[in-house]
Amino acid sequence: MQRLAEPHPGPVPFSVEFYPPRDEQAEARLWRAVRIFERMGPAFVSMTYGAGGSTRDRTLRIVGQLARETTLLPVAHLTAVGHSVDELRAMVGGFADQGITNILALRGDPPGDPLGEWIKHPDGLEYAEQLVRLVQELGDFNVGVASFPEGHHRAPDLDHDTRYLVSKLRAGAQYSITQMFFDVDDFLRLRDRVVAADPEQGAKPLIPGIMPITSLASVRRMVELSGSVLPANIDKRLAAAAGGGPDEDREAVRAVGIDLATQMAQRLIAEGVPCLHFCSLNFAKATSEVLERLGMNVMAA
């Protein structure tokens, strides 16, 4: 990821994750967020890819627009689920046609029930490592992969999880971005495991995924769907802020969420991470507030 090494405002570079909007109103919101972040100088922005290709056209169109119409460096997520190798080749070709050279290569989860049984497409790929190799065969791409501070929920144990991540890096991935997590120790232990397993691969950027929480109900749902955990002490703090009423007190939850994200980011910066990757949910406000508290929001300076 070339731009991680370039000059940046603040103690470390940051990046932002977006997802393809479903309708015009959501798309307008995305572009408002994009324009705000653009002025803050992220190292890159990434665009997710819906399960089984459900957002294929939107992901392709929007990363293309990001490449052509903004100064941002777009990274396109691509998942193997539900696609034959020929379809994956066509997708990669489509990204190249849009001027996209940065791809995050993922296996993806089963569509419908992300925790359900994984079934490989009969003419497709089994693991992200194979997608890393395929993308590289097709051109001069800069490839990243996913990593999991708590271990991937389908991995038998942390040793296997580490070994598979190292295999993806050895296959040519240049960096990894983690699943969002809430316990910095989990991230640091992952980093130690990768360095111990293979110092050369461990030297590649391991980028922490951070989500400033703005709703208890949604973070609980997201965590459940991704097979990870919300630590009990954090759930308790958020639940206390949410209150006991029928609707959660969003302002109070948000305040706790922003505090948590800021404290995590401060510790990660002190631990020397190469970049902070923010899951923005297509909103700029919460992430900007965290960046401001970190002294990384050039707009607030």
Ligand X SMILES: Cc1cc2nc3c(=O)[nH]c(=O)nc-3n(C[C@H](O)[C@H](O)[C@H](O)COP(=O)(O)OP(=O)(O)OC[C@H]3O[C@@H](n4cnc5c(N)ncnc54)[C@H](O)[C@@H]3O)c2cc1C
Within 8 A by CB and 6+ apart from 254, the residues are: 213, 214, 215, 286
Residue 53 CA to residue 78 CA, distance in Å, equals 9
Q: Which of 17, 129, 150, 248 is catalytic?
A: 17
Site residues for ligand X per CB under 6 A: 48-49, 51, 77, 79, 106-109, 127-129, 146, 152, 154-155, 160-161, 164, 167-168, 177-179, 209
The least CB distance from residue 105 to ligand X, in Å, is: 7
Alpha-carbon dihedral sign for residues 153, 213, 269, 144: positive
Nearer to ligand X, 34 or 166 (CB): 166
Nearer to ligand X, 26 or 240 (CB): 26
Q: Determine the angle formed by the axes of helices 250-270 and 184-197, rounding to 10 degrees.
A: 30
122 exposure class (CB count in 10 Å sphere: 0-12, 13-18, 19+): exposed
H or E, element range at 225: helix 216-225
Residue 182 and residue 234 in contact, taking contact as beta carbons nearer than 8 Å: yes
**Residues paired with 104 in a beta bridge:** 77, 144
Residue carrying the six token digits 């919300």:
230
Nearer to ligand X, 48 or 214 (CB): 48
Nearer to ligand X, 190 or 253 (CB): 190
C-alpha dihedral, 234 to 235 to 240 to 243, nearest 10°: 140
The least CB distance from residue 147 to ligand X, in Å, is: 6
Structure tokens at 253: 């939850």
Based on the residue annotation, tell me whether 292 is a catalytic residue of this protein.
Answer: no
Nearer to ligand X, 46 or 297 (CB): 46
Compute CA distances 209 → 60, 156, 177, 230, 251, whole Å.
Answer: 23, 23, 6, 14, 23
Separation of first and last alpha carbons in the chain = 27
The least CB distance from residue 128 to ligand X, in Å, is: 3
Within 8 A by CB and 6+ apart from 11, the residues are: 269, 294, 295, 296
The least CB distance from residue 285 to ligand X, in Å, is: 22
Residue 275 CA to residue 41 CA, distance in Å, equals 13
Nearer to ligand X, 223 or 253 (CB): 223
Catalytic residues: 17
